[in-house]
C-alpha cells in the first residue's frame, strides 16, 4: 500500500502520517526528516541542502528522487509506505510513478490531501517546536511537551526550526502554491485524491484520514 500525503506546510502531514504509520504498520517516509538528519550528521547531502532548507526553498528533483529511491529499497518499505513530503513537484510525481512502476510497489494507491486555511498554517508553524535529537513535533498550545523545552520521547532539547520562522513560513507557502498545489489536480484526474478537512484537533483529523485509509485498504 503506497499512500501520499499532500498539503501545505503546517497542514499536519507529519503528525497524521505518523499515526497512520503506527496503525497500519507502514513506514512513514518523511523526506524533510531525512534531509534534516543528513544536515545534523554533516554528510555531503546535508551540507548541500542546508541553506536551501533554511530558506524554505525546494531541494532539486534529482536529489530527492535519489533519496526516495534509496529509502524505498529498504526492507521495511517492501510492503509499502506513507509518503510525507514527497512528491512535491510535478517532475517528482512523474518520476515517482516511473520508480513505482519499475519496482515492487506498482503505483500510488491513495493521496490524502489535507486542506487548512492559510492563517491557521502560519499560526500552527510559528507555535511548532521540534526535538533537536529525534525530530518529534510539538505545538506550544495544542500539543505541549510535559516539561517545558524538553522532548517527552527522548529528553532532547526542543527548538524552533529555522524554516518555521514567520518570514520563512510565508515563503514556504508561496513555494507550495507554485510548485506543489498543481499536484492536487494531477492526482484528482487520476482518481486518487481524497480531500480531508485539516481543521480541528489532531484526533478529529486523524479519524477523517483513517476513514479514507480504511476505505482504500478494503477496496
32 binds ligand AMP (CB under 6 A): yes
Burial class (CB in 10 A: 0-12, 13-18, 19+), 68: buried
53 binds ligand AMP (CB under 6 A): yes
User: Is 170 among the residues known to form the active site?
Assistant: no
d(CA 176, CA 178): 6
User: Is 143 among the residues known to form the active site?
Assistant: no
The C-alpha cell of 30 is what?
518523511
Candidate segments 52-60, 104-112, 126-134, 148-156, binder of ligand AMP by CB under 6 A: 52-60
Backbone angles phi, psi at 210, to 5 degrees: -65, -35
Candidate segments 54-62, 96-104, 111-119, 125-133, binder of ligand AMP by CB under 6 A: 54-62
Q: Exactly one of 31, 169, 187, 193 binds ligand AMP (CB under 6 A); which one?
A: 31
Tell me which H or E stretch contains 150. Answer: none
| CB 121, min distance to ligand AMP, A | 11
Backbone angles phi, psi at 209, to 5 degrees: -65, -40
Q: Which is nearer to ligand AMP, 4 or 146 (CB)?
A: 4
Q: Which residues does the annotation mark as catalytic?
A: 13, 88, 128, 161, 172
Amino acid at each position: 500500500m503506497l499512500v501520499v500525503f499532500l498539503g501545505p506546510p503546517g497542514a499536519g502531514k507529519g503528525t497524521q502520517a505518523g499515526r497512520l504509520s503506527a496503525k497500519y504498520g507502514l513506514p512513514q517516509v518523511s523526506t524533510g526528516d531525512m534531509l534534516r538528519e543528513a544536515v545534523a550528521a554533516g554528510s555531503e547531502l546535508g551540507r548541500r541542502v542546508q541553506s536551501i532548507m533554511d530558506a524554505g526553498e525546494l531541494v532539486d528533483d534529482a536529489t530527492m528522487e535519489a533519496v526516495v529511491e534509496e529509502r524505498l529499497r529498504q526492507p521495511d518499505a517492501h510492503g509499502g509506505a506513507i509518503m510525507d513530503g514527497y512528491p512535491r513537484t510535478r517532475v517528482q510525481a512523474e518520476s515517482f510513478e516511473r520508480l513505482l512502476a519499475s519496482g515492487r510497489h506498482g503505483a500510488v494507491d491513495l493521496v490524502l490531501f489535507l486542506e487548512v486555511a492559510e492563517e491557521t498554517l502560519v499560526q500552527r508553524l510559528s507555535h511548532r517546536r521540534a526535538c533537536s535529537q529525534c525530530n518529534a513535533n510539538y505545538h506550544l498550545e495544542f500539543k505541549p511537551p510535559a516539561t517545558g523545552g524538553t522532548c517527552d520521547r527522548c529528553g532532547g532539547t526542543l527548538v524552533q526550526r529555522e524554516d518555521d520562522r514567520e518570514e520563512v513560513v510565508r515563503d514556504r507557502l508561496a513555494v507550495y502554491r507554485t510548485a506543489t498545489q498543481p499536484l492536487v489536480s494531477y492526482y484528482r484526474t487520476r482518481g486518487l485524491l481524497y480531500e480531508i478537512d485539516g481543521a480541528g484537533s489532531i484526533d478529529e483529523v486523524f479519524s477523517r484520514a483513517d476513514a479514507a485509509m480504511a476505505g482504500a485498504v478494503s477496496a
